[in-house]
């Protein structure tokens, strides 16, 4: 690759700064956020694997690191980026021992990144994938790196269950708030539904809508842009025959789901409860990756620009109210970006449970038709460490398809947190 013309790049930056100075004090915050600058942190490629059912789907025999390696290969192929230019990769993961630090480094090498590309893993529970993207964006903003990848992966087939729960010491067990951190999220969501008076009928209606939107989007091919198919080995549980299969679509999306059909499913956590398998996120396997760099770098490398990262927030809430995280995180992210909730065209709010998603949307005063227009985790799954990175591809592809601009991705986070980020599509 020829050496970049630094003089031309600097002229482009100066021109961008001059253009930026033309925004008058009377310009609206929305006008400002839509302005392009050479220093913007942009996304030039964002993709994910299909999501498959944990323990049952076509990825059940594929280790998480292999899902990640395949995703990295697809990212390199689709973006046509020179792998040697990628300086750092951050991978969100929740369940793998050691957060997958060793095997994710190996996955990057297998995928074709050179040994000069650094890799880290991180665990902020359900927001791990988003945190990975934000970490890379901040590294680029500060000049620590020029090009990086934010990613997420989870094999819930192999690592989900009681073994993933950490034992607490006596010191932690004897602190009330600390002890609350280990209460199962389903139990917390059930309690929240009761405390916040969210009836099962509302939860089931929201869940049914998620399935219906996802099915419609899948049938119309609206996920095709964000999904990169993956070929893996699969052992048929009925015959024990090992097959090579190419996975092309989410397998959790089901036809014929209605609020009435969901109303017949038995509650999972209390006899008179409202949380059940049909109105909670699916246990799934999957991976996602997002390629990021400065706008000036993307222009120099002739990388297509899908959108840009604007701002993010991370907040804490009481552990017993884990599900309210987006309600607190979204306003903070919007304030950092300098826009109002009405300026946002699409919200991707993770559907950990219908109860918490419904409460957050209503409490924030958001129109339901702006939330998860292609469905969400209830319909196609929530591989824990992956979802935050998956939302970036889902959000930017839908904004671009519909000619809209401003989007927010957000989720509640186990142990009582919330995270949100603001993105602009191009």
For the chain, list the domains and their CATH numbers: 39-161+186-420 (3.40.47.10)
Q: What is the pLDDT of residue 330?
A: 98
Which of 45, 276, 360, 382 is the catalytic position? 382
Q: What distance in Å separates the CA atoms of residue 64 and residue 87, rounded to the nearest whole number?
A: 22
Q: Are 317 and 415 in contact (CB under 8 A)?
A: no
Q: What is the pLDDT of residue 166?
A: 79
Greatest CA separation found in the chain?
70
Residue 19 confidence (pLDDT) above 70: no
Check residue 7 and give its pLDDT: 47
Nearest to 253 by CA among 213, 221, 214: 214
- Strands 88-92 vs 118-122: parallel, antiparallel or unpaired: parallel
Tell me if residue 386 is catalytic. no
CB-count exposure of residue 117 (10 Å: 0-12, 13-18, 19+): buried
Mean pLDDT score, 298-304: 98
Query: Can 412 be counted among the known catalytic residues?
Result: yes
Query: pLDDT tens digits, residue range 225-276?
Result: 999 999 999 999 999 999 999 999 999 999 999 999 999 999 999 888 999 9
Q: Could you tell me the end-to-end alpha-carbon distance of the chain, in angstroms, rounded to an integer?
A: 27
Confidence of residue 17 (pLDDT cuts 50, 70, 90): very low
Which residue in 45, 360, 386, 412 is the catalytic one?
412
User: What pLDDT digit, counting tens, does each position of 136-187 carry?
Assistant: 999 999 999 999 999 999 999 999 987 777 789 999 999 989 999 999 889 9
Mean per-residue pLDDT, 372-382: 98
Q: Residue 142 CB: number of other CB atoms within 10 A?
A: 8
| 89: β partners | 119, 149
Give the single-character DSSP code of 55: T
- Per-residue pLDDT reduced to its tens digit, 58-108: 999 999 999 999 999 999 999 999 999 999 999 999 999 988 999 999 999
Where do the H-state alpha helices sit in 35-146? 64-79, 101-111, 128-141
Residue 1: Cβ-neighbour burial (10 angstroms; 0-12, 13-18, 19+) = exposed
Q: Average of pLDDT values for 388-404? A: 98
Q: Which phi and psi (to 5°) does residue 132 adopt?
A: -60, -45
The yes-or-no answer on residue 126 being catalytic is: yes
What was the pLDDT predicted at 16?
45
Look at residue 305 and tell me whether its pLDDT is greater than 90.
Answer: yes
Share of the chain above pLDDT 70, in %: 94
**Among the ranges given (183-192, 326-335, 394-403), the one the predictor scored with the smallest mean pLDDT:** 183-192
Per-residue pLDDT, 191? 87
Could you tell me if 137 and 423 are in contact, meaning their C-beta atoms sit under 8 angstroms apart? Answer: no
pTM to 2 decimals? 0.92
Average pLDDT of 309-327? 96
Q: Does the structure show a pLDDT above 50 at 396?
A: yes
- pLDDT for the residue numbered 27: 58
Residue range 191-231, pLDDT digits in tens: 889 888 999 999 999 999 999 999 999 999 999 999 999 99
pLDDT tens by residue, 20-61: 433 444 457 777 899 999 999 999 999 999 999 999 999 999
The beta strand positions in 93-228, using DSSP E, are 118-122, 147-155
Catalytic pick from 45, 126, 360, 386? 126
The first and second tokens of residue 59, run together, are 């990825």
């Amino acid at each position: 690759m020829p050496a970049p013309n630094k003089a031309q790049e600097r002229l482009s930056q100066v021109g961008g700064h001059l253009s930026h100075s033309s925004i008058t004090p009377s310009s609206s915050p929305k006008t400002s956020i839509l302005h392009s600058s050479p220093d913007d942190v942009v996304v030039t490629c964002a993709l994910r694997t299909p999501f498959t059912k944990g323990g049952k789907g076509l990825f059940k025999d594929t280790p998480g690191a292999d899902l990640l390696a395949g995703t990295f290969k697809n990212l390199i192929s689709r973006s046509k980026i020179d792998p040697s230019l990628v300086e750092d990769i951050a991978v969100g993961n929740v369940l793998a021992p050691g957060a997958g630090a060793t095997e994710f480094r190996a996955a990057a090498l297998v995928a074709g990144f050179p040994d000069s590309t650094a890799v880290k893993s991180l665990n902020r529970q359900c927001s791990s994938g988003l945190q990975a993207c934000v970490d890379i964006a901040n590294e680029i903003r500060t000049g620590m790196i020029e090009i990086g990848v934010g990613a997420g992966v989870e094999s819930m087939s192999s690592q989900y269950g009681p073994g993933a729960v950490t034992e607490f010491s006596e010191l932690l067990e004897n602190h009330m708030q600390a002890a609350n951190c280990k209460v199962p999220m389903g139990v917390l969501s059930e309690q929240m539904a009761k405390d916040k008076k969210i009836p099962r009928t509302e939860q089931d209606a929201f869940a049914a809508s998620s399935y219906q939107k996802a099915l419609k989007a899948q049938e119309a091919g609206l996920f095709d842009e964000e999904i990169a198919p993956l070929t893996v080995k699969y052992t048929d549980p009925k015959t024990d025959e090992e097959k090579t299969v190419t996975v092309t679509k989410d397998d959790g999306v089901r036809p014929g789901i209605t609020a009435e059909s969901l109303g017949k499913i038995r509650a999972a956590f209390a006899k008179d409860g409202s949380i059940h398998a049909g109105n909670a996120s699916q246990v799934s396997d999957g991976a996602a990756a997002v390629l990021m760099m400065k706008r000036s770098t993307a222009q120099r490398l002739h990388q297509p620009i899908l959108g840009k990262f604007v701002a993010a927030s991370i907040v804490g809430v009481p552990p017993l109210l884990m599900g309210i995280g987006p309600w607190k995180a979204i306003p903070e992210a919007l304030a950092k970006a300098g826009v109002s909730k009405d300026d946002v065209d699409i919200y991707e709010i993770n559907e950990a449970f219908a109860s918490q998603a419904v409460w957050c949307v209503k409490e924030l005063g958001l129109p339901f038709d702006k939330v998860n227009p292609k469905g969400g985790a209830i319909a196609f799954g929530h591989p824990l460490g992956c979802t935050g990175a998956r939302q970036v591809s889902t959000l930017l592809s839908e904004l671009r398809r519909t000619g809209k601009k401003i989007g927010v991705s957000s989720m509640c986070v186990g142990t009582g947190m919330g995270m949100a980020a603001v993105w602009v599509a191009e």
